[in-house]
A and B are shown apart, each in its own frame.
Chain A
Amino acid sequence: MLSPLMIGLYVFVLAIFLGFELITKVPPTLHTPLMSGANAISGITVVGALYCAQTGETNLANIFGAVAVAFAMINVVGGFLVTNRMLSMFKRKK
């Protein structure tokens, strides 16, 4: 039986290979939207951060958790919106 750490490591390495395969196909024209889109995806930390501020007390763990949620949400909302804005500008020749 693999430990959760080992499974995590397997997932980590395999996802990196998958990422390489996927991103190699992205043409240079789309590199900026790719980056801002990737930025938004890295905001997934928000899911971890949500578990960090579960009580109403004012303590360091909750404060750091709430700030983490805010930072990650800036990434998520800002990243997806700005990527969408950019991509709507890419047009074919009329």
Chain B
Amino acid sequence: MLSQLLPLAYLAAASLFIFGIRNLSKVRTAARGNRLAALGMLAAIILTLLDLGTIDYRWILGGIVVGSVVGAIAAIRIQMTQMPEMVALFNGFGGAASALVALSFFFRAIAGHAGGDVDLIPALGGASIGVTSVLSLLVGSVTFSGSLVAFMKLNGTIRGNHLSFQAINILNLILIVVLLGLGGALLVKPWPYLWAMIAFLVILVGSLKLGVTTTLRIGGADMPVVISLLNSLSGVAAAMAGFVVQNYLLIISGSLVGASGLILTQIMCKAMNRTLGEVLFKNFGGSTGDKDDGYSNVKESSAEEVAMLMEDVSSVVFVPGYGLAVAQAQHTTRELANLLEARGIDVKYAIHPVAGRMPGHMNVLLAEADVPYEQLVEMDQINPDFKTTDLVIVLGANDVVNPAATNDPSSPIYGMPILNVHEARTVVIVKRSLSPGFAGIANHLFDNDNSIMVFGDAKKVLQEMVTEVKQLS
């Protein structure tokens, strides 16, 4: 009875996921959407456990308890500035789970054949399961190791290397062909038990290596693309695992996540005027970042002087970037904004799609500091307003406000959509030094007549501004 109802229950769970994502498209309903999706998941897990009936639950229970505890602790303790790391890591766990499902299926299939030959397709239960278990292992392992590298890059454990791209691209291509070829060979004819096991482990190790070498040389500015892509891959891996265990709920959910990650990847690429191919296979710009880049008209100022400026402005736009997250300056920004608003000044925040290290990173940070989300304005909406803005304060952003993207056809970032802050009456740039951003190119916004540089840590500078503004009459 239950086993006949189970597919219907899975369909209900899939519907809850779809309703959940639909509700995620509005801030007002987003929390409800998340709860709906969680409800779908709970139902799917409980019904599956019921369907399993009386089995030995020791292994399963151990996995559920350990996973739930670790997940809950991580979710409660993580800081909002660390969200990119956390999402990267979770993408990896999703990939790993799918790869492990394939591994488990494989080892169960060959278990009875020790010493003899294994014909994998009948042992696994069909050609489609054979093909998809190889794919699930491959995609899942690439997602896992790639995500771990992305995680370590984001939290600063490792830095990118600048090995020759071309050589690695060719080696990776060869590796993919070899792994797929080996997977195919494994399925078409019977293999001796030991060799079958070795071949499967070679696919595992090769895929892990592929994920590492592909992610390792991708630069910091491209991280939003990489995280989105890995997010997509974790979904594809789940869908492949769905083919292996022949469960349509896994296929539907995996496809939804795969599509979601792919759309975000596309949006991120567009916001950087780069194609996915360029992100994965080419170095950015490749120009030098070590020379002084010939700034000639830089005006340095202090927090105190900028605070004086705030005395007679009527509109202020903050432009947050990754530097704001590093300095943990979101709360101080909000404090300054509150003071300005109390003086009757119109305050907004301009959000570039790739500001930060993942899609929507700045929005979450500012939401944590209680900034109402209506004040966060997207690039296309706020760009026409800069002409009539009195004061722009750039906080730890660089390449996304570089006017070279619109007026210098020889610049490597030419064509990338930027926030046109240079059109405002005055631009204050809070930055540690004149060093270039991730694109490794000079930003002649710093040289403009209407630009003022304030050097220092964003949080410290903002705290000084807060103190000064409080003293204004």
Show the binding face of A for B, using Cβ within 8 Å: 3-5, 7-8, 11-13, 15-20, 22-56, 59-94
CA distance A26 to B378 in the complex (A): 13
Provide the B246-258 mask, 1 if CB < 8 A to any CB of A, else 0.
Answer: 1111111111111
**Contact bitstring B201-235, A, C-beta under 8 A = 1, else 0:** 00000000000000000000000000110010011
A57 to chain B, nearest CB (A): 8
The verdict on B83 contacting chain A, using a C-beta distance below 8 Å, is yes
Q: Is the interface of A mostly helix, strand, loop or mixed?
A: helix
Give the distance to chain A from B377, nearest Cβ to Cβ, in Å.
10
- CB-based contact B101/A52 at 8 Å: yes
In the complex, the 6 A-B pairs of residues with the closest C-beta atoms, listed nearest first: A73-B67, A19-B259, A69-B63, A31-B360, A78-B71, A56-B56
Known: A15-B251, A23-B263, A70-B70. 17 other contacts (CB 8 A): A8-B128, A8-B248, A19-B256, A28-B353, A30-B363, A37-B33, A44-B44, A49-B104, A55-B59, A68-B98, A70-B63, A74-B71, A74-B93, A78-B86, A81-B75, A87-B31, A88-B31
Chain B neighbourhood of A77, CB < 8 A: 67-68, 71-72, 75
Which of B342-365 touch A at CB < 8 Å?
351, 353, 358-361, 363-364
- What is the interface size of chain B, counting residues whose CB is below 8 A from a CB of the partner? 112
With A59-B107, A78-B74 already in contact, the answer to whether A65 and B100 are too (CB < 8 A) is yes
11 sample A-B contacts, Cβ–Cβ < 8 Å, listed by A number? A15-B252, A16-B256, A31-B267, A34-B260, A37-B21, A39-B91, A48-B242, A49-B101, A65-B60, A70-B66, A86-B83
State the CA gap A40–B26 with chains docked (Å).
Answer: 19
Q: Which of B35-43, B170-178, B301-309, B399-407 contacts A (4 or more CB under 8 A)?
A: B35-43
Known contacts A27-B25, A48-B244, A56-B58: A78-B250 contact under CB 8 Å: no
Question: A-contacting residues of B (Cβ < 8 Å)?
Answer: 10, 17-18, 20-22, 24-27, 30-31, 33-35, 37-38, 41, 44-45, 48-49, 52, 55-56, 58-60, 62-64, 66-68, 70-72, 74-76, 78, 80, 83, 86-87, 90-91, 93-94, 96-98, 100-101, 103-105, 107-108, 111, 126, 128, 227-228, 231, 234-235, 237-239, 241-264, 267, 351, 353, 358-361, 363-364, 367-368, 370, 372-376, 378
